[in-house]
Each structure stands twice: as structure tokens, then as C-alpha cells.
Structure 1
Amino acid sequence: MRRWAGSISIIARTVVIVGVVEIFTHSAVVLMGVTDRATNLLLDVLLLSVLSAPLLYLFVIKEFGRRVAMAEALEKRAELTGQLLSLMDNVPGVVYRGAPDWSIGFIGAEVKNLTGYAPGEFTGGGVDWRSIIHPDDLELVKTAFSDAVRRKEKTLRVEYRVKHVDGGYRWLEDRRQMIYGAGGYLLSIEGLLLDMTERKSMEETVQNQFHFLQVLLDAIPTPIYYKNTQGRYLGCNKAYEEYVGLSKDHLVGKTVHDIAPKDLADIYRKSDDDLFRQRGIQAFEASAVPADGKRHAVIFNKATFLNPDGSLGGLVGSVLDITDRKRAEEARALLEMAVGQSNEMIMITDVDGTIQYVNPAFERLTGYAREESVGRNPRFLQSERHDKAFYREMWDKLARGKTWSGRMINRKKNGELFEEEASISPVRDTDGKVISFLGVKRDITQLVSLEKQVRTAQRMEAVGTLAGGIAHDFNNALTGIVGFGDLLHERFAADTSC
């Protein structure tokens, strides 16, 4: 294009240029200086002709900077709006804007996945949001919403279920931001809906597992408890509640110093701290004061557990009350002491006659050590002075659950015979079943010998008494005879003198 010349007049911010050009057949945008600033101009070319002959060209230049700025602003706004909508459609949830009457002015496209309904069905009024809330949750949601508005709370979070078009329900968390006007009236609600179905399912699974574990723990008769690393109770089973006389709700959050005497609590806490430092398992014997208020002997068995991230989570422990066992052990020790010091032989056999126990008196008398006797049948003591019928009668009576008493002659390890007086009784369990036999025996060898001597002496005494009586009677008879003899002798002597 060739240079052109002409006059320029500015009327209502429109520049009109009249001039002569060689060729100018289209509009163009040019930049001119107007009132000392750069201005975007629109150049329109008009051709004036006479009888189809070009006469002159009329150039109309219009300032359109404001129009361009407005167009650019609108374009930018549209671009930002598109980006914002795209962002809202891609956030992990459903963005919405609603009114106090529950109508929805805007809702993100993700609502389609959450409910099966398109956004337009909500914004157009075809679907009322309240109609898809689970009937069991609706009143809860409405109450929470009305309470929040009444208290002028700016935020509200509530969890509830909504019905999908497929008939199933989805759990969601509704995070609401309440917008109030100058007068304190609720204008609108801007919120975010988060799908919690998967999380709720996982929570339900965990809850079911926890419930199962709690039922399992409650079925165990041994008292069991668990604590965190601060020594505070996290839970326990029914047996532990009954043992300490406190409910689980009362125990949770407490420490041993809250439920046990200080001297015992100090011991428990120190053992817990030692276990936390060493980790692993621990067992120790101590005292405890359970629900009856008395001190019991117990054994604590404990082990540490870890959190999912590998850090120390706490400990789980069990309590084994050994008070009765201790008493039984003490009673047994006392009994063994008494039996061990008894001069009576004591033997215990099973129902088959196999020796299970012999006391020291047995060892002293028979010469057989306990190790030589236990596990054997008592027949190794037999002296062969009794026939089979003797032993059969004894075992038949024992088999009927009766006590057998009598005397028998047995043989010592050195071959010497001894006579014993025995009483063998059946031992029964709590069900009345015979589980063993208890034999208490006494060496009566010397007694029998003394009895023989006494009997011999008694016989001799009887003979002496008999002989004395006979002699007395004989003497009585002889006295008469002698007397009569003397009289005869005297008479014969007198006759002879005559």
C-alpha cells in the first residue's frame, strides 16, 4: 500500500480520513497516536463512485480498545469458568451450592457416579435431594442442619446414606459451609460431598473383626487385658472384669495406680517399663488384690505388640491365679512331710497295681529304694507263704471298691521275711471313679513274735496252774493218808508194847 495523505478529524472518538489512495480494498487494524496514548483503531474503507467510476475512498477509523478489552475479559472469564468447572468435576467429591429450602443451584458432575442421577436432575428440580437420603438417616440430617443454622454455625459435617438409582446405598460425608447475610439469615450452602462407602465398608469389616476378637477374648476363662505404652488400659475380657471387680468402661484409660494398692502398682509399673524397653515376652510371679479384697498369688504373662507402622503399640497380658495351687502345693508338701516321717509304710498304686509312690518307711523296711519300686507290681515282695487264692480274694474285694484289711508275710530285699498288717483302700476321683489304691502297712514281725511268746507263756502258766492244782489236790489226799498212817502207826506201836 502506498502512503496516503489527507485530513483527520476526531468526532465522538471516531476518526474519519479523506484522501486518495491507489488501492485499498479491505479493513485493517492500525495503531495511531490519539491524545498522547496508543489506541487500537478499526479502519473501514468505503468506495465512492460515479457511474461506476471510482471517485474517492472514504476511510472510517473507529477506536475499539474498550470493546477489545471487554471481549478479552469475557473470553478470560469463560476460560476461567471452564477451568473451575473442570476442577470441580475432578476433585475427589461432589461440589454443590444449595439454598435453605434444600433446592440445588449447582452440583458437580461426579454426582452421577455417587447417585446415578445427572446434575441437571437436581438443579432442574426433578430429584429432591431429601428423597434419596436413607429414611433412617433423614431426620438425623435435618436435625443436625436446623441445629447448626439455629446456632449460626458456619460449618457442618454429617454422615449419612443416599440411595443410588441401582437400589443400593452409598455412604457420604456432607461438608457444608453456611453463608449468612448481614441480618444473620442463611442465604445459601456451599458444600462438598465425599463418598465414604469404601471407608465405611472397611470400618465395618474392622468393627466386625474387633467384635469377633472381643467375643473370642470373652470366651477365654483366663483374665486378659491390654495397655498402651503409657500403661493405660485399652481393654480387657469378661474374665478380667470379674477378677478385678471393675467394668471395662471403668478400666479403659486408667493405670494400675488407679486400681491397685501402691506397693503392688509400683511393681506392676516397673515390670511394664522393663518389658517396653526389652520388648518380647515376660512372665513373673507376684501378688494381686482381686474383687474379694484378699491378696492372691498370681503369675503375669505379658507380651508387647506393634502398631501397623512398626512402632511399639503396648502390651497384652494375662493373669493366672495360683492361690489354690499354692495352697495345694503347701498342703501336699505338708502331707509329704508327714508321710515321709511316718513309721507306717505307705504305698500308692494305680488300678492295675503298678506302684506310683512309696514313702521312706517302705524303703527302710523292705530295703528297696523308691527308684527300684515305682513302676513295678508289688508282687516282687511276695514270700510265697500265701497261695493264689489269698491274693485273688484281696484283689476281688478291691475291684468292688471295698477296703481290704489283713496280715501278710512278705520278703525284704535281703531275703528276710517280715510280717505286715495292711489296710488297702480304693481312691476315687470327684466322679466317684476308682483311680488308685492306697496301702497303709505296719511291720508287725516283732509284735507277732511277742504274741507267740505271750501265748507260750500263757500256755506254760496254764500248765503250771494245772500242775499246782493237781499237786495241791494230791497233797490234800496225801495229808489224809499220812494222817491215817500216823494214827495206825501209833496204834500198832501201842499194841506191840502190850
Structure 2
Amino acid sequence: KVARAIRLAQEDRLEKPFTLEYPCHDENEQRWFQARVVSMGPDQAGYVLVEHQSITNQKKDQLERLATEERFQKIFESHSAVMLLIEPESGRLLDANFAAEKFYGYSRNLLKKMSIQEINLLSPEEIGKRREEALAKTVECFIFPHRLANGEVRNVEVYSSPIPIDGRHLLFSIVHDITERMEIENERERLISAIEQAAECIVITDKEGSIQYVNPVFEKTTGYSREEVIGQNPRVLKSGRHDGPFYEKLWETISSGETWTGRMVNKRKDGAFYTEEASISPVYNSSGEISSFVAVKRDITQELALEEQLHQSQKMEAVGRLAGGVAHDFNNMLQTILGYSEMGLEGISPSHPLHLSLSEIHTAAERSADLTRQLLAFARKQTISPKILDLNDAVADTLKMLGRLIGEDIHLIWKPAHKLPPISMDPVQIHQILANLTVNARDAISDGGTIHIESSAVSLSEEDCEANRNMRPGEYVTLKLTDDGVGMDSETLDRIFEPFFTTKAQGEGTGLGLATVYGIVKQNEGYIEVDSKPGLGTTFQIFLPCLDKQIEGERGAKAKPPLLKGSERILLVEDEQVVLDLGVRLLKKLGYHVIATRDPREAIRLLQDPSLSIDLLMTDVVMPEMSGRDLFERVREIRPEIKCLFMSGYTADVITHHGILEEGI
């Protein structure tokens, strides 16, 4: 072939250069050569340019590249991973392997006629940007949504990089279906987010009990940061309130595969104790073995405090009802004792042998009457006459009396606030509160001390009232009394407002002083708080609601009419025979004409007789057949002009509204 080309060139008949590649191997080496024949043209007829060079290295590279491409093609077609060859400028699919055919649901021939834009759900602009990034090798891994032939959309992770093929760079892409993995990751993120944002405290430990995870509520509840407790044992929270068997039983329960539920007292980082309700469960791995434990806990410290407040309030309410009922029955007996002892004393001279005995009876009955008044105050059943007043003025009026109560060895300091808003309250009750609290403080102080009394105005918000479920937001004036006495322990504090509870020696107190204060405060829709510790004294703080409007003028108390004798006709109605007999004797002694009956219906029948002249109806309030209030309403229908005088030792909620006299009564 070379010789023929040379002859043609010599004859100037070689139209174009002739090139020939041929092997020339020996036993030790494979070699390739290239021969090239070029005609020199008509000017140099007969002359021929012949080039001959070794192309062994180029040929070896070419053969190796062809072998590589062949191996690549075999791997490309047979690999289980989805593989695509993409033309980077247009996005056309140049090739796709069998795994791609299986994954996308299109045949390989159809895939080779498609572009990546027909599979990728991103916009063409976005897809073009991603191809540029892959071609420039600035990004190698992408996550795309790809649509399959059946319309299903799968999330895929694509590793794409440029490779040279036939002198140009194509994008070689390996596609992994990560739909399930993303769903698992999303589920994991949802679970982590839920745990992180849960209102409960969540702790995860390994099977040995070392803390592996805590959520933010744990940090807020305990005061420990996550970094401080990871790797620690939960005993870092141990309070010492539970014994060894308690924790042994807990560990035995969860180690056996069961869930432990219960309450435990733990200790915060600052040393404060708190109670939590916990549920601790084992967590199993894929082999069915316990791999960790998870504890879900809730701080119920405040909840327990509120429950205790409610329990205490209900207990005090029950005791109050009992005390009020006892006081009512006791008053009926005392009326008889006081009445007859007074009549007996009036009928004999002081020198009479019975005068001293009757006087002792009368004195004892009066002391008993004081007890019933205190019981009624605690039960919030005493009848009061509230007035619009300035708390500072009411306190100032009692200071001299308080000084006599505490003696000269105790210093009394009064710190009034400036311009308190007015309150509506019976001033006598202010005196009762201060007298009882001051006496209580005096008895707690030994060898001289100080009692501080101060007033202030406060505004309670919803947040302020969260710790005490009985308190309501609003404007209040406060009365605070502080002593530097011996103080009280927590057990005593829990019972100080119970009637007849006292820490004093027998005969030194009735146990009704603080109960009376409690009842008065509650009757006036107020609140009382106590703070005391052994050796650190005691502080009582009372919150009294302010009036909704400014003072328009204080209502003065009506002057009591003098006790005069008369001759009018009185209809007396009382279901207790001994009280009825006493009333008849007392009224007749004062000169009145008395018609008496134990039956309200009999009283109505008598008043229906127009010939019977009655100037005044006197009736008991609480009677079994008909209340005194109902009797008066019936009587007014018959005789609208008649006057009525109610009498009772238990008037609350009958002629009064919550113990406050109604207008006109």
C-alpha cells in the first residue's frame, strides 16, 4: 500500500496524503508505526515526502482507553445502582443502565430519548443550575424529587460528576432512592422535636443507668444543664427522702422489663426539694434486648401544694360549719343562764348569801358567750356592720389598747403606708384581728422583743395568684404583723388556724385566737399568709380587698335607743321553751304586755284577728316549722304596718347576706 502510494505521488496522481498505521511486533515488545506519503506537487515532479514514525505509546493509550470504556460499559449496564449519562448542556439522557430501567419504569431505549427535565420535578432553571454545579465540581451530591413512569414521586440522592468520553465531558450520575430513609429521618426529627418541646421532663439512660439524653424541661426543672448530667447517674438528683429498698424495687421493676410508676422526691441543683410523678420504662433493641430506659416525669410540687391548700380550706370550712352549729345551740342555753342569773341578781341584795353564787354563774356565762362569739367569728357566721374606712385610722385607734396587751418590755412599731385606698369592713373586726395577732406574738417573745405592724397597698396579678388558688387578682390593702419570737415549725403552721389548737400550756389559751382571725379575714373576702421558721420569728400578712369606688362619705352608725320600759303589746315567737319563758318574764318585768307562742303558724292565726292589738312582733330567726324571716313576710301581708324585732344567736344567711345586715334591718 505504501509503495503504490509512492508511485502515485511520483506520477502526481495522489490526490491527498496517504496515512497507514501498522503493527511491527517482536518477541519482547508490541510496536506500532505510522507511514505517511505526501505528493510534492507539479513543481517538484517525481519527488515524494515519506514520513515514518513510531506510534507505540499512543496506540497503547488508545487500546487501554478502549478497554477501560468497555469495562465501564459492562459495569454501567450490570451495576445494581441506578446510573445515567447526561449531556450537561441540554440535559438529554445519553444512556441509562438496566437498574435505571427497573427503577424508573421506562425502557432503556425510551430513557435515551428523554431529558432529565422529564424526570426531575424541579424547574428547568433549577435543574440547569444544578448541572452547572456538577460540571464545575462545586457540588457533587444533590437531593431531587424524581417522578417514575407510574406517576409515583421518589426522593433520590444523586452523585453527579463529569467524565471524559470520546473527547467531551458528560455527567455521570449515580442515583440512590432515599425515600424511606428520608421518611425515617423525618419521623426521627418529629420525635426529637416532640421530646424537646414536651411539657414533661424526659430522661434517657443506657442499660447501666448512665444518662444519655435529657430534654429542656429537665434542665428547667432541676437546674442542671444537659452537659452537666450526660454520663452521670440519675442519683445526682437523689434527695435522701427515700431509703435503699425504694430504689432497689424501682431498679428491679424496670430491669425485669416492666414499667415503674410512682412519685419521688428529688433535689434540684440549688438544693431545693421537689416532688415528681414518674413513669420509667425499658426500651428494647431489634434483638429484643433491653438497650436503654426512658423516664417521663412531671413536677407536681405546686400541684400538691394547691391540693393541700384545697384540703385545708375544705377542712376549715367543715370545722367552721360545726363550730357555727355548736355556737348556735350553745347560745340558746347561755341566753337562759344569763337571763335568769341577771334576774336573780336584780331581785336580791349584794349581802344575800346567793348573790356571790349567782354572780359567779353570770360571770362564767359571759366568758362562755365570748367563746361562742369567737366560734362564730371563725365560722364566719357573726353579724357585722361594715363601714367604709381607712385601715391606717382603724389600726391607729387600737395602738393604746395593744400597748396594754403586750406590756412595757415589748416594743411596738407602727409603720403606716401613705394614702391607702379605702376598704369596707367592721372596725371592730380590725380590733379583733390586731388583738389576737398581737397577743399571739407577745406569747412567742421572751425577755423583750419587737412587734412590727405595717400597712401597704398592693395589686395582685394572675401570675401572683398562681401559687395560691384561693386568691383572686385585684387591688388590696395589706396588714402585716411581724415578731422576733420563737417562730413555728411546719407541723405547727399546718394547724394554727384550727379551732382549739394551741401550743400553750393548759389553761393559758383557748386555741380560738388565730381561728377568729382566719374567720374574720375570710368573711371579708380577704386572704391571710403566714411565714415562720423556728428561731426566726413569725410574719402574718393579711390581704383585704379595696373598694371599687372612692369614699363618698362614711356611713355613721345609728345611735342605740336607750333601754326604756313600756306598756305596749308584744307578740313573742320562740321555739325553745326555756328561752320563750325567759323572754316573757323579762318583757313583763319591763312593763310590756306579752302574748307568747312556740308555733309561727299560731302567731299568724292570732294576727289574723283584727280585734287583737299588737304593737311589735318579736321572733326567733331559726325555727323548725318556719323561719323568722318567712314569718315576718307572711305577717306583713296581714298587717303591713307592723314592726318586727329579730332575735337569734345564729343570724347569718337568714336575716343577713353572708353575715352582713341588709338595708332596713
Q: TM-score, normalised by structure 1?
A: 0.46
Greater C-alpha radius of gyration: 1
Q: TM-score, normalised by structure 2?
A: 0.36
- Bigger relative contact order, structure 1 or 2 (CA pairs below 8 A, ≥6 apart): 2
Structure with a larger share of its residues in strand: 1
